[in-house]
Structure 1
Protein backbone atom coordinates (compact mmCIF):
# COMPACT_ATOMS: atom_id res chain seq x y z
CA UNK A 1 0.00 0.00 0.00
CA UNK A 2 1.09 3.54 -0.61
CA UNK A 3 -0.19 6.64 1.22
CA UNK A 4 -1.79 9.40 -0.82
CA UNK A 5 0.27 12.57 -0.83
CA UNK A 6 -1.10 16.08 -0.45
CA UNK A 7 -0.48 16.51 -4.19
CA UNK A 8 -2.71 13.52 -4.98
CA UNK A 9 -5.48 14.79 -2.71
CA UNK A 10 -5.09 18.31 -4.10
CA UNK A 11 -5.51 17.01 -7.65
CA UNK A 12 -8.59 15.04 -6.58
CA UNK A 13 -10.18 18.11 -4.98
CA UNK A 14 -9.32 20.24 -8.01
CA UNK A 15 -11.23 17.66 -10.08
CA UNK A 16 -14.14 17.57 -7.62
CA UNK A 17 -14.88 21.28 -7.91
CA UNK A 18 -15.20 20.99 -11.69
CA UNK A 19 -18.61 19.35 -11.24
CA UNK A 20 -21.65 21.19 -12.62
CA UNK A 21 -24.15 22.80 -10.26
CA UNK A 22 -27.35 24.87 -10.58
CA UNK A 23 -26.33 28.32 -11.86
CA UNK A 24 -22.75 27.27 -11.01
CA UNK A 25 -23.45 27.87 -7.31
CA UNK A 26 -20.87 25.22 -6.24
CA UNK A 27 -22.81 24.10 -3.12
CA UNK A 28 -20.06 21.98 -1.57
CA UNK A 29 -17.43 22.00 1.10
CA UNK A 30 -14.66 19.49 1.79
CA UNK A 31 -12.61 18.49 4.80
CA UNK A 32 -9.47 16.36 4.62
CA UNK A 33 -8.05 14.29 7.46
CA UNK A 34 -5.39 11.82 6.40
CA UNK A 35 -7.04 9.34 4.06
CA UNK A 36 -10.52 10.74 4.77
CA UNK A 37 -12.22 13.30 2.54
CA UNK A 38 -15.58 14.59 3.72
CA UNK A 39 -18.01 16.11 1.22
CA UNK A 40 -20.56 18.45 2.81
CA UNK A 41 -23.49 20.46 1.53
CA UNK A 42 -22.97 24.22 1.76
CA UNK A 43 -26.43 25.47 2.72
CA UNK A 44 -25.46 29.06 1.98
CA UNK A 45 -25.23 28.12 -1.72
CA UNK A 46 -28.51 26.27 -2.09
CA UNK A 47 -31.05 28.05 -4.29
CA UNK A 48 -33.86 28.66 -1.81
CA UNK A 49 -36.49 29.45 -4.47
CA UNK A 50 -35.56 27.03 -7.27
CA UNK A 51 -34.26 24.22 -5.06
CA UNK A 52 -35.76 24.58 -1.55
CA UNK A 53 -35.29 20.90 -0.69
CA UNK A 54 -31.68 20.95 -2.01
CA UNK A 55 -32.30 18.07 -4.44
CA UNK A 56 -30.25 19.65 -7.22
CA UNK A 57 -27.58 20.83 -4.79
CA UNK A 58 -27.12 17.27 -3.54
CA UNK A 59 -26.93 16.06 -7.13
CA UNK A 60 -24.13 18.58 -7.74
CA UNK A 61 -22.29 17.24 -4.69
CA UNK A 62 -22.79 13.71 -6.00
CA UNK A 63 -21.18 14.82 -9.26
CA UNK A 64 -18.26 16.24 -7.25
CA UNK A 65 -17.89 12.87 -5.47
CA UNK A 66 -17.72 11.11 -8.84
CA UNK A 67 -14.99 13.48 -10.06
CA UNK A 68 -13.10 12.97 -6.80
CA UNK A 69 -13.22 9.19 -7.20
CA UNK A 70 -12.23 9.28 -10.88
CA UNK A 71 -9.20 11.46 -10.08
CA UNK A 72 -8.05 9.18 -7.25
CA UNK A 73 -8.35 6.11 -9.46
CA UNK A 74 -6.43 7.78 -12.26
CA UNK A 75 -3.65 8.53 -9.77
CA UNK A 76 -3.50 4.90 -8.63
CA UNK A 77 -5.69 4.98 -5.50
CA UNK A 78 -8.86 3.01 -4.92
CA UNK A 79 -11.58 5.19 -3.33
CA UNK A 80 -14.24 3.81 -1.02
CA UNK A 81 -17.38 5.93 -0.88
CA UNK A 82 -19.97 6.01 1.89
CA UNK A 83 -23.01 8.16 1.19
CA UNK A 84 -24.73 9.84 4.16
CA UNK A 85 -22.35 8.17 6.65
CA UNK A 86 -23.80 9.86 9.76
CA UNK A 87 -27.57 10.06 10.30
CA UNK A 88 -26.98 12.82 12.83
CA UNK A 89 -25.29 15.02 10.21
CA UNK A 90 -27.57 15.16 7.16
CA UNK A 91 -25.33 17.70 5.43
CA UNK A 92 -22.36 15.32 5.60
CA UNK A 93 -23.17 13.85 2.21
CA UNK A 94 -20.25 11.52 1.59
CA UNK A 95 -17.11 10.14 3.14
CA UNK A 96 -14.40 9.10 0.71
CA UNK A 97 -11.44 7.09 1.96
CA UNK A 98 -8.53 5.92 -0.15
CA UNK A 99 -5.64 3.55 0.40
CA UNK A 100 -3.94 0.64 -1.34
CA UNK A 101 -3.05 0.45 -4.99
CA UNK A 102 -5.38 0.75 -7.96
CA UNK A 103 -4.37 -0.45 -11.40
CA UNK A 104 -5.16 2.48 -13.67
CA UNK A 105 -7.30 1.50 -16.66
CA UNK A 106 -7.74 3.19 -20.02
CA UNK A 107 -11.29 4.12 -18.96
CA UNK A 108 -9.92 5.80 -15.82
CA UNK A 109 -7.68 7.98 -17.98
CA UNK A 110 -10.44 8.85 -20.45
CA UNK A 111 -12.85 9.90 -17.71
CA UNK A 112 -10.22 11.86 -15.78
CA UNK A 113 -9.17 13.75 -18.90
CA UNK A 114 -12.80 14.63 -19.63
CA UNK A 115 -13.30 16.26 -16.21
CA UNK A 116 -11.40 19.39 -17.24
CA UNK A 117 -12.96 19.55 -20.72
CA UNK A 118 -16.60 19.06 -19.77
CA UNK A 119 -18.71 22.19 -20.00
CA UNK A 120 -22.38 23.08 -20.23
CA UNK A 121 -23.29 23.99 -23.80
CA UNK A 122 -26.14 26.53 -23.74
CA UNK A 123 -25.90 27.35 -27.44
CA UNK A 124 -27.47 25.75 -30.53
CA UNK A 125 -26.68 22.20 -31.58
CA UNK A 126 -26.35 20.89 -35.09
CA UNK A 127 -29.28 18.92 -36.48
CA UNK A 128 -27.09 15.82 -36.30
CA UNK A 129 -28.28 12.63 -34.63
CA UNK A 130 -26.32 11.11 -31.75
CA UNK A 131 -25.41 7.59 -32.97
CA UNK A 132 -26.93 4.53 -31.36
CA UNK A 133 -23.53 3.33 -30.13
CA UNK A 134 -22.95 6.63 -28.30
CA UNK A 135 -26.42 6.48 -26.75
CA UNK A 136 -25.58 2.98 -25.53
CA UNK A 137 -22.31 4.26 -24.03
CA UNK A 138 -24.16 6.98 -22.12
CA UNK A 139 -26.79 4.53 -20.90
CA UNK A 140 -24.05 2.20 -19.69
CA UNK A 141 -22.35 5.09 -17.86
CA UNK A 142 -25.50 5.75 -15.81
CA UNK A 143 -25.94 2.04 -15.05
CA UNK A 144 -22.37 1.88 -13.78
CA UNK A 145 -23.37 4.26 -10.97
CA UNK A 146 -26.59 2.46 -10.06
CA UNK A 147 -28.97 4.69 -12.01
CA UNK A 148 -30.62 4.70 -15.42
CA UNK A 149 -30.53 7.05 -18.39
CA UNK A 150 -33.67 6.96 -20.49
CA UNK A 151 -33.66 8.63 -23.89
CA UNK A 152 -37.11 10.18 -24.31
CA UNK A 153 -39.38 8.53 -26.83
CA UNK A 154 -43.08 8.22 -26.08
CA UNK A 155 -42.72 10.78 -23.25
CA UNK A 156 -41.05 13.41 -25.44
CA UNK A 157 -44.05 15.66 -26.11
CA UNK A 158 -45.30 15.48 -22.52
CA UNK A 159 -41.89 16.36 -21.10
CA UNK A 160 -41.23 19.25 -23.47
CA UNK A 161 -44.67 20.63 -22.63
CA UNK A 162 -43.71 20.53 -18.94
CA UNK A 163 -40.44 22.36 -19.69
CA UNK A 164 -42.35 25.15 -21.44
CA UNK A 165 -44.94 25.31 -18.66
CA UNK A 166 -42.29 25.56 -15.95
CA UNK A 167 -40.40 28.24 -17.87
CA UNK A 168 -43.61 30.27 -18.13
CA UNK A 169 -44.27 29.96 -14.39
CA UNK A 170 -40.71 30.99 -13.53
CA UNK A 171 -40.75 33.92 -15.96
CA UNK A 172 -43.69 35.32 -13.99
CA UNK A 173 -42.27 34.65 -10.52
CA UNK A 174 -40.46 37.70 -9.13
CA UNK A 175 -38.66 35.73 -6.41
CA UNK A 176 -37.34 33.17 -8.91
CA UNK A 177 -36.25 35.87 -11.35
CA UNK A 178 -34.41 37.76 -8.59
CA UNK A 179 -32.62 34.62 -7.42
CA UNK A 180 -31.64 33.70 -10.96
CA UNK A 181 -30.39 37.23 -11.64
CA UNK A 182 -28.02 37.01 -8.67
CA UNK A 183 -26.20 34.07 -10.23
CA UNK A 184 -26.28 34.75 -13.97
CA UNK A 185 -24.85 37.20 -16.52
CA UNK A 186 -21.69 37.57 -14.45
CA UNK A 187 -18.33 38.81 -15.65
CA UNK A 188 -16.22 36.15 -17.37
CA UNK A 189 -13.65 36.23 -14.55
CA UNK A 190 -16.26 35.48 -11.86
CA UNK A 191 -15.28 32.41 -9.78
CA UNK A 192 -18.92 31.27 -9.57
CA UNK A 193 -22.24 31.90 -11.28
CA UNK A 194 -22.82 31.87 -15.04
CA UNK A 195 -21.06 34.59 -17.08
CA UNK A 196 -22.88 36.31 -19.92
CA UNK A 197 -20.27 34.94 -22.30
CA UNK A 198 -21.44 31.39 -21.52
CA UNK A 199 -25.06 32.19 -22.36
CA UNK A 200 -26.75 31.32 -25.61
CA UNK A 201 -28.41 33.47 -28.28
CA UNK A 202 -32.16 33.80 -28.51
CA UNK A 203 -33.72 31.26 -30.88
CA UNK A 204 -35.06 32.70 -34.10
CA UNK A 205 -38.09 30.41 -33.97
CA UNK A 206 -40.26 28.74 -31.34
CA UNK A 207 -38.80 25.28 -30.81
CA UNK A 208 -40.03 22.21 -29.00
CA UNK A 209 -38.23 23.24 -25.80
CA UNK A 210 -37.97 26.51 -23.94
CA UNK A 211 -34.48 27.74 -23.08
CA UNK A 212 -33.98 29.29 -19.68
CA UNK A 213 -34.43 33.05 -20.02
CA UNK A 214 -31.55 33.86 -17.65
CA UNK A 215 -29.18 31.77 -19.75
CA UNK A 216 -29.88 33.72 -22.93
CA UNK A 217 -27.68 36.63 -24.04
CA UNK A 218 -29.83 39.42 -25.54
CA UNK A 219 -26.69 40.95 -27.03
CA UNK A 220 -26.18 38.03 -29.42
CA UNK A 221 -27.97 37.83 -32.77
CA UNK A 222 -30.78 35.29 -32.93
CA UNK A 223 -29.75 31.82 -34.10
CA UNK A 224 -31.42 28.71 -35.41
CA UNK A 225 -31.50 25.94 -32.80
CA UNK A 226 -31.87 22.23 -33.47
CA UNK A 227 -35.50 21.39 -34.16
CA UNK A 228 -35.81 18.28 -31.98
CA UNK A 229 -32.89 17.81 -29.59
CA UNK A 230 -32.07 14.47 -28.04
CA UNK A 231 -33.40 14.54 -24.49
CA UNK A 232 -32.63 12.02 -21.76
CA UNK A 233 -33.68 11.74 -18.12
CA UNK A 234 -31.61 10.35 -15.24
CA UNK A 235 -33.65 7.98 -13.07
CA UNK A 236 -33.08 6.12 -9.81
CA UNK A 237 -35.18 3.31 -8.35
CA UNK A 238 -36.03 5.38 -5.27
CA UNK A 239 -36.14 8.98 -4.05
CA UNK A 240 -34.48 10.79 -1.15
CA UNK A 241 -31.10 12.27 -0.27
CA UNK A 242 -29.07 9.15 -1.06
CA UNK A 243 -30.86 8.82 -4.40
CA UNK A 244 -30.04 12.46 -5.19
CA UNK A 245 -26.35 11.71 -4.61
CA UNK A 246 -26.39 8.53 -6.71
CA UNK A 247 -28.18 10.41 -9.48
CA UNK A 248 -25.50 13.09 -9.35
CA UNK A 249 -22.76 10.50 -9.67
CA UNK A 250 -24.55 8.87 -12.60
CA UNK A 251 -25.26 12.22 -14.26
CA UNK A 252 -21.59 13.18 -14.05
CA UNK A 253 -20.38 9.87 -15.44
CA UNK A 254 -22.81 10.33 -18.34
CA UNK A 255 -21.49 13.85 -18.93
CA UNK A 256 -17.87 12.68 -18.87
CA UNK A 257 -18.68 9.84 -21.28
CA UNK A 258 -20.46 12.34 -23.52
CA UNK A 259 -17.47 14.70 -23.42
CA UNK A 260 -15.10 11.90 -24.36
CA UNK A 261 -17.38 11.14 -27.33
CA UNK A 262 -17.48 14.83 -28.40
CA UNK A 263 -21.17 15.11 -27.45
CA UNK A 264 -22.25 18.41 -25.89
CA UNK A 265 -24.80 18.67 -23.10
CA UNK A 266 -26.91 21.17 -21.22
CA UNK A 267 -29.60 20.94 -18.56
CA UNK A 268 -33.34 21.53 -18.73
CA UNK A 269 -33.91 22.01 -15.01
CA UNK A 270 -37.08 24.11 -15.18
CA UNK A 271 -39.65 21.32 -14.58
CA UNK A 272 -37.72 20.13 -11.51
CA UNK A 273 -37.92 23.62 -9.98
CA UNK A 274 -41.70 24.10 -10.11
CA UNK A 275 -43.77 21.96 -7.74
CA UNK A 276 -46.63 21.27 -10.16
CA UNK A 277 -44.42 20.21 -13.08
CA UNK A 278 -42.17 18.15 -10.82
CA UNK A 279 -45.20 16.26 -9.55
CA UNK A 280 -46.28 15.58 -13.14
CA UNK A 281 -42.78 14.43 -14.11
CA UNK A 282 -42.65 12.09 -11.13
CA UNK A 283 -46.03 10.64 -12.10
CA UNK A 284 -45.00 10.28 -15.74
CA UNK A 285 -41.89 8.23 -14.96
CA UNK A 286 -43.26 6.40 -11.91
CA UNK A 287 -43.24 2.95 -13.55
CA UNK A 288 -39.58 3.37 -14.54
CA UNK A 289 -38.02 5.20 -11.59
CA UNK A 290 -37.68 8.58 -9.94
CA UNK A 291 -36.56 11.41 -12.29
CA UNK A 292 -33.72 13.70 -11.20
CA UNK A 293 -32.51 15.74 -14.16
CA UNK A 294 -33.15 16.23 -17.86
CA UNK A 295 -30.25 16.45 -20.30
CA UNK A 296 -30.18 18.00 -23.76
CA UNK A 297 -27.55 16.20 -25.85
CA UNK A 298 -26.09 16.84 -29.27
CA UNK A 299 -23.23 18.33 -31.24
CA UNK A 300 -22.35 22.00 -30.78
CA UNK A 301 -21.27 24.37 -33.51
CA UNK A 302 -18.27 25.57 -31.52
CA UNK A 303 -16.75 25.79 -28.07
CA UNK A 304 -18.43 27.95 -25.44
CA UNK A 305 -17.00 30.13 -22.68
CA UNK A 306 -15.85 28.45 -19.51
CA UNK A 307 -17.46 29.07 -16.17
CA UNK A 308 -15.18 29.82 -13.24
CA UNK A 309 -14.49 27.81 -10.12
CA UNK A 310 -13.54 28.96 -6.66
CA UNK A 311 -10.03 27.95 -5.54
CA UNK A 312 -10.01 24.67 -3.63
CA UNK A 313 -8.70 26.49 -0.55
CA UNK A 314 -11.99 28.39 -0.37
CA UNK A 315 -14.09 25.23 -0.14
CA UNK A 316 -11.93 23.39 2.42
CA UNK A 317 -13.27 23.17 5.95
CA UNK A 318 -11.32 24.20 9.06
CA UNK A 319 -8.21 22.18 9.67
CA UNK A 320 -8.41 20.43 6.32
CA UNK A 321 -4.95 21.47 5.34
CA UNK A 322 -3.55 23.05 2.25
CA UNK A 323 -4.28 20.75 -0.64
CA UNK A 324 -5.80 22.95 -3.30
CA UNK A 325 -5.03 24.50 -6.62
CA UNK A 326 -7.16 26.84 -8.63
CA UNK A 327 -8.56 25.51 -11.90
CA UNK A 328 -10.98 26.87 -14.42
CA UNK A 329 -13.95 24.94 -15.79
CA UNK A 330 -13.72 24.06 -19.43
Structure 2
Protein backbone atom coordinates (compact mmCIF):
# COMPACT_ATOMS: atom_id res chain seq x y z
CA UNK A 1 0.00 0.00 0.00
CA UNK A 2 1.57 3.28 -1.12
CA UNK A 3 1.31 6.13 1.40
CA UNK A 4 2.24 9.71 0.64
CA UNK A 5 2.90 12.78 2.78
CA UNK A 6 2.16 16.09 1.05
CA UNK A 7 2.63 19.64 2.38
CA UNK A 8 1.16 22.78 0.81
CA UNK A 9 0.65 26.02 2.73
CA UNK A 10 -2.27 27.28 0.62
CA UNK A 11 -4.57 25.46 -1.82
CA UNK A 12 -2.52 25.27 -4.99
CA UNK A 13 -1.04 23.01 -7.65
CA UNK A 14 -0.18 20.13 -5.32
CA UNK A 15 -3.73 19.86 -4.02
CA UNK A 16 -5.16 20.39 -7.52
CA UNK A 17 -2.99 17.57 -8.81
CA UNK A 18 -4.17 15.26 -6.06
CA UNK A 19 -7.78 16.12 -6.80
CA UNK A 20 -7.34 15.40 -10.52
CA UNK A 21 -5.83 12.03 -9.59
CA UNK A 22 -8.49 10.99 -7.06
CA UNK A 23 -11.59 12.60 -8.57
CA UNK A 24 -12.53 9.86 -11.10
CA UNK A 25 -12.77 7.35 -8.25
CA UNK A 26 -14.57 9.67 -5.86
CA UNK A 27 -16.96 10.76 -8.62
CA UNK A 28 -17.94 7.16 -9.28
CA UNK A 29 -18.53 6.56 -5.56
CA UNK A 30 -20.43 9.83 -5.06
CA UNK A 31 -22.77 9.07 -7.97
CA UNK A 32 -23.31 5.38 -7.20
CA UNK A 33 -26.95 6.03 -6.17
CA UNK A 34 -27.52 8.39 -9.11
CA UNK A 35 -27.06 12.14 -9.31
CA UNK A 36 -30.63 12.98 -8.15
CA UNK A 37 -29.85 11.27 -4.84
CA UNK A 38 -27.22 13.92 -4.07
CA UNK A 39 -28.09 17.50 -3.04
CA UNK A 40 -27.72 20.39 -5.49
CA UNK A 41 -24.88 22.88 -5.31
CA UNK A 42 -27.25 25.51 -3.91
CA UNK A 43 -28.35 23.12 -1.15
CA UNK A 44 -24.75 22.21 -0.34
CA UNK A 45 -23.55 25.80 -0.09
CA UNK A 46 -26.59 26.83 1.90
CA UNK A 47 -25.93 24.05 4.41
CA UNK A 48 -22.27 25.03 4.74
CA UNK A 49 -23.22 28.66 5.28
CA UNK A 50 -25.76 27.69 7.95
CA UNK A 51 -23.55 25.31 9.93
CA UNK A 52 -19.88 25.99 9.08
CA UNK A 53 -19.76 29.55 7.71
CA UNK A 54 -16.08 30.00 8.62
CA UNK A 55 -15.27 27.25 6.13
CA UNK A 56 -16.91 28.93 3.11
CA UNK A 57 -13.81 30.87 1.88
CA UNK A 58 -11.67 27.74 2.08
CA UNK A 59 -14.38 25.67 0.40
CA UNK A 60 -14.56 28.15 -2.46
CA UNK A 61 -10.77 28.14 -2.87
CA UNK A 62 -10.75 24.35 -3.11
CA UNK A 63 -13.65 24.33 -5.58
CA UNK A 64 -11.64 26.69 -7.80
CA UNK A 65 -8.58 24.43 -7.53
CA UNK A 66 -10.78 21.46 -8.46
CA UNK A 67 -11.77 23.19 -11.68
CA UNK A 68 -14.99 24.91 -10.65
CA UNK A 69 -17.27 22.07 -11.79
CA UNK A 70 -20.73 21.53 -10.32
CA UNK A 71 -20.26 17.89 -9.31
CA UNK A 72 -16.87 18.50 -7.74
CA UNK A 73 -18.21 21.42 -5.71
CA UNK A 74 -21.11 19.33 -4.46
CA UNK A 75 -18.76 16.49 -3.53
CA UNK A 76 -16.37 18.81 -1.66
CA UNK A 77 -19.21 20.10 0.53
CA UNK A 78 -19.46 16.59 2.06
CA UNK A 79 -23.18 17.32 2.43
CA UNK A 80 -25.41 14.23 2.41
CA UNK A 81 -22.89 11.87 0.77
CA UNK A 82 -23.57 8.18 0.19
CA UNK A 83 -23.45 6.12 3.40
CA UNK A 84 -20.23 4.37 4.32
CA UNK A 85 -19.08 2.13 7.17
CA UNK A 86 -15.79 1.65 9.00
CA UNK A 87 -14.46 -0.14 12.04
CA UNK A 88 -11.91 1.69 14.26
CA UNK A 89 -10.84 1.88 17.90
CA UNK A 90 -9.49 4.93 19.70
CA UNK A 91 -8.39 5.81 23.21
CA UNK A 92 -6.76 8.57 25.25
CA UNK A 93 -3.77 7.44 27.32
CA UNK A 94 -3.33 9.76 30.28
CA UNK A 95 0.33 9.49 31.15
CA UNK A 96 2.86 12.27 31.67
CA UNK A 97 2.53 13.23 28.01
CA UNK A 98 -1.14 12.85 26.93
CA UNK A 99 -1.49 10.63 23.86
CA UNK A 100 -4.38 9.70 21.60
CA UNK A 101 -4.08 6.36 19.80
CA UNK A 102 -6.39 5.02 17.12
CA UNK A 103 -6.77 2.16 14.65
CA UNK A 104 -8.50 2.89 11.37
CA UNK A 105 -10.28 -0.17 9.97
CA UNK A 106 -11.58 0.38 6.46
CA UNK A 107 -11.56 -0.74 2.84
CA UNK A 108 -8.11 -0.52 1.24
CA UNK A 109 -9.72 0.41 -2.11
CA UNK A 110 -11.63 3.39 -0.73
CA UNK A 111 -8.90 5.20 1.15
CA UNK A 112 -6.67 8.18 0.30
CA UNK A 113 -3.54 6.70 2.03
CA UNK A 114 -2.40 10.30 2.28
CA UNK A 115 -1.09 12.52 5.07
CA UNK A 116 -1.82 16.20 4.40
CA UNK A 117 0.00 19.11 6.02
CA UNK A 118 -1.65 22.47 5.34
CA UNK A 119 -1.64 26.09 6.46
CA UNK A 120 -5.07 26.90 5.10
CA UNK A 121 -6.48 30.23 6.30
CA UNK A 122 -3.63 30.72 8.75
CA UNK A 123 -4.14 27.49 10.70
CA UNK A 124 -1.57 24.72 10.36
CA UNK A 125 -3.08 21.24 10.39
CA UNK A 126 -1.77 17.77 9.61
CA UNK A 127 -3.72 14.56 9.51
CA UNK A 128 -4.96 11.54 7.59
CA UNK A 129 -6.89 12.68 4.54
CA UNK A 130 -10.37 11.62 3.49
CA UNK A 131 -11.85 13.06 0.31
CA UNK A 132 -8.88 15.49 0.12
CA UNK A 133 -10.77 18.06 2.24
CA UNK A 134 -11.88 16.02 5.21
CA UNK A 135 -9.77 14.19 7.80
CA UNK A 136 -10.33 10.99 9.77
CA UNK A 137 -7.80 12.10 12.39
CA UNK A 138 -5.39 15.02 12.82
CA UNK A 139 -3.78 17.69 14.98
CA UNK A 140 -3.49 21.48 14.67
CA UNK A 141 -0.99 24.13 15.72
CA UNK A 142 -2.97 24.87 18.91
CA UNK A 143 -2.23 21.34 20.11
CA UNK A 144 -5.72 19.95 19.52
CA UNK A 145 -6.01 16.38 18.20
CA UNK A 146 -9.10 14.60 16.95
CA UNK A 147 -10.18 11.16 15.70
CA UNK A 148 -13.36 9.36 14.64
CA UNK A 149 -14.97 5.93 14.81
CA UNK A 150 -18.19 4.72 13.22
CA UNK A 151 -21.06 4.75 15.74
CA UNK A 152 -22.62 1.41 14.77
CA UNK A 153 -26.09 2.57 13.72
CA UNK A 154 -27.95 2.07 10.43
CA UNK A 155 -29.72 5.46 10.44
CA UNK A 156 -28.80 7.82 7.59
CA UNK A 157 -30.06 11.40 7.78
CA UNK A 158 -29.49 14.95 6.58
CA UNK A 159 -26.07 16.25 7.50
CA UNK A 160 -22.38 16.28 6.64
CA UNK A 161 -19.87 13.51 6.20
CA UNK A 162 -18.01 13.55 9.50
CA UNK A 163 -14.48 13.92 8.00
CA UNK A 164 -15.37 17.50 7.01
CA UNK A 165 -16.60 18.18 10.54
CA UNK A 166 -13.21 17.04 11.85
CA UNK A 167 -11.49 19.40 9.42
CA UNK A 168 -13.76 22.22 10.60
CA UNK A 169 -12.89 21.55 14.24
CA UNK A 170 -9.15 21.64 13.55
CA UNK A 171 -9.45 24.78 11.41
CA UNK A 172 -11.38 26.73 14.03
CA UNK A 173 -10.81 25.31 17.55
CA UNK A 174 -8.02 25.34 20.12
CA UNK A 175 -9.54 23.43 23.05
CA UNK A 176 -11.58 20.30 23.66
CA UNK A 177 -14.39 22.46 25.04
CA UNK A 178 -14.60 24.51 21.84
CA UNK A 179 -14.53 21.32 19.78
CA UNK A 180 -17.36 19.85 21.86
CA UNK A 181 -19.55 22.86 21.08
CA UNK A 182 -19.09 22.35 17.34
CA UNK A 183 -19.58 18.58 17.52
CA UNK A 184 -22.85 19.14 19.41
CA UNK A 185 -24.06 21.68 16.84
CA UNK A 186 -23.10 20.55 13.32
CA UNK A 187 -25.37 17.83 11.84
CA UNK A 188 -23.85 14.56 10.68
CA UNK A 189 -25.45 12.25 8.11
CA UNK A 190 -24.51 9.08 10.04
CA UNK A 191 -23.61 8.11 13.61
CA UNK A 192 -20.01 8.67 14.67
CA UNK A 193 -17.97 8.85 17.85
CA UNK A 194 -15.46 11.70 17.79
CA UNK A 195 -12.74 11.98 20.42
CA UNK A 196 -10.71 15.15 20.97
CA UNK A 197 -7.66 15.73 23.19
CA UNK A 198 -6.07 19.14 23.74
CA UNK A 199 -2.66 20.24 24.98
CA UNK A 200 -4.02 20.86 28.50
CA UNK A 201 -4.96 17.17 28.82
CA UNK A 202 -8.68 17.90 28.46
CA UNK A 203 -10.55 15.35 26.40
CA UNK A 204 -14.09 14.35 25.45
CA UNK A 205 -15.93 11.99 23.14
CA UNK A 206 -18.98 13.19 21.20
CA UNK A 207 -21.56 10.55 20.27
CA UNK A 208 -22.98 12.10 17.11
CA UNK A 209 -26.10 10.96 15.25
CA UNK A 210 -28.39 12.27 12.49
CA UNK A 211 -31.65 11.56 14.36
CA UNK A 212 -30.96 12.72 17.91
CA UNK A 213 -28.85 15.33 19.73
CA UNK A 214 -25.16 14.63 20.16
CA UNK A 215 -24.11 13.37 23.58
CA UNK A 216 -20.87 14.86 24.93
CA UNK A 217 -19.12 12.40 27.26
CA UNK A 218 -15.89 12.12 29.23
CA UNK A 219 -15.21 8.71 27.69
CA UNK A 220 -11.54 7.99 27.00
CA UNK A 221 -12.39 5.02 24.75
CA UNK A 222 -14.55 4.68 21.64
CA UNK A 223 -15.14 1.74 19.32
CA UNK A 224 -18.14 1.07 17.04
CA UNK A 225 -21.24 1.54 19.15
CA UNK A 226 -22.62 4.33 21.26
CA UNK A 227 -24.39 3.98 24.61
CA UNK A 228 -26.00 0.69 23.61
CA UNK A 229 -25.43 -1.77 20.78
CA UNK A 230 -28.17 -1.18 18.20
CA UNK A 231 -26.82 -2.98 15.11
CA UNK A 232 -26.17 -6.43 16.54
CA UNK A 233 -24.75 -8.13 13.44
CA UNK A 234 -22.29 -5.29 12.83
CA UNK A 235 -21.28 -5.33 16.50
CA UNK A 236 -20.58 -9.06 16.34
CA UNK A 237 -18.67 -8.82 13.08
CA UNK A 238 -16.45 -5.97 14.29
CA UNK A 239 -16.23 -7.15 17.94
CA UNK A 240 -16.92 -3.60 19.06
CA UNK A 241 -17.94 -4.52 22.63
CA UNK A 242 -14.96 -6.80 23.10
CA UNK A 243 -12.56 -4.12 21.84
CA UNK A 244 -14.08 -1.49 24.12
CA UNK A 245 -13.81 -3.76 27.16
CA UNK A 246 -10.24 -4.63 26.30
CA UNK A 247 -9.21 -0.98 26.06
CA UNK A 248 -10.99 -0.05 29.28
CA UNK A 249 -9.19 -2.86 31.07
CA UNK A 250 -5.82 -1.69 29.74
CA UNK A 251 -6.50 1.85 30.94
CA UNK A 252 -8.10 1.07 34.30
CA UNK A 253 -6.35 -2.02 35.58
CA UNK A 254 -3.10 -2.62 33.71
CA UNK A 255 -1.84 0.98 33.57
CA UNK A 256 0.56 0.13 30.77
CA UNK A 257 3.47 2.44 30.01
CA UNK A 258 2.95 4.48 26.85
CA UNK A 259 4.83 2.30 24.36
CA UNK A 260 3.24 -0.90 25.62
CA UNK A 261 -0.22 0.66 25.39
CA UNK A 262 0.41 1.84 21.82
CA UNK A 263 1.66 -1.61 20.82
CA UNK A 264 -1.60 -3.22 21.93
CA UNK A 265 -3.20 -1.54 18.91
CA UNK A 266 -0.92 -3.52 16.61
CA UNK A 267 -2.20 -6.88 17.85
CA UNK A 268 -5.60 -8.60 18.17
CA UNK A 269 -8.22 -7.94 19.39
CA UNK A 270 -7.64 -4.31 18.30
CA UNK A 271 -5.72 -5.02 15.10
CA UNK A 272 -8.01 -6.48 12.43
CA UNK A 273 -6.95 -8.75 9.55
CA UNK A 274 -10.37 -8.63 7.82
CA UNK A 275 -9.04 -6.78 4.80
CA UNK A 276 -11.01 -8.76 2.25
CA UNK A 277 -14.20 -7.91 4.11
CA UNK A 278 -13.35 -4.18 4.04
CA UNK A 279 -12.56 -3.87 7.75
CA UNK A 280 -8.82 -4.48 8.02
CA UNK A 281 -6.66 -2.14 10.10
CA UNK A 282 -5.08 0.22 7.58
CA UNK A 283 -2.91 1.96 10.16
CA UNK A 284 -2.44 2.88 13.80
CA UNK A 285 -2.10 6.62 14.48
CA UNK A 286 -0.49 8.14 17.56
CA UNK A 287 -1.06 11.82 18.38
CA UNK A 288 0.91 13.84 20.94
CA UNK A 289 -0.91 17.19 20.95
CA UNK A 290 1.50 19.00 23.29
CA UNK A 291 4.37 18.23 20.94
CA UNK A 292 2.17 18.63 17.85
CA UNK A 293 3.42 15.32 16.55
CA UNK A 294 1.87 12.27 14.93
CA UNK A 295 2.95 8.78 13.99
CA UNK A 296 1.53 6.28 11.57
CA UNK A 297 2.40 2.75 12.65
CA UNK A 298 2.20 -0.68 11.09
CA UNK A 299 3.71 -3.92 12.37
CA UNK A 300 7.44 -3.26 12.12
CA UNK A 301 7.13 0.29 10.70
CA UNK A 302 6.81 3.75 12.26
CA UNK A 303 6.41 6.96 10.23
CA UNK A 304 6.89 10.00 12.45
CA UNK A 305 5.85 13.55 11.53
CA UNK A 306 6.12 16.91 13.29
CA UNK A 307 3.75 19.76 12.52
CA UNK A 308 6.61 22.25 12.75
CA UNK A 309 9.06 20.16 10.70
CA UNK A 310 6.87 18.14 8.34
CA UNK A 311 8.68 16.00 5.78
CA UNK A 312 7.13 15.15 2.46
CA UNK A 313 7.72 11.67 1.13
CA UNK A 314 6.22 8.27 0.49
CA UNK A 315 6.21 4.81 2.02
CA UNK A 316 5.33 1.42 0.59
CA UNK A 317 3.70 -0.43 3.47
CA UNK A 318 3.16 -4.18 3.56
CA UNK A 319 -0.29 -4.82 5.05
CA UNK A 320 -0.24 -8.14 6.95
CA UNK A 321 -3.30 -10.22 6.12
CA UNK A 322 -4.16 -8.88 2.66
CA UNK A 323 -4.80 -11.70 0.22
CA UNK A 324 -4.17 -10.75 -3.39
If the length of structure 2 is used for normalisation, what is the TM-score? 0.24
Higher strand share: 2
If the length of structure 1 is used for normalisation, what is the TM-score? 0.23
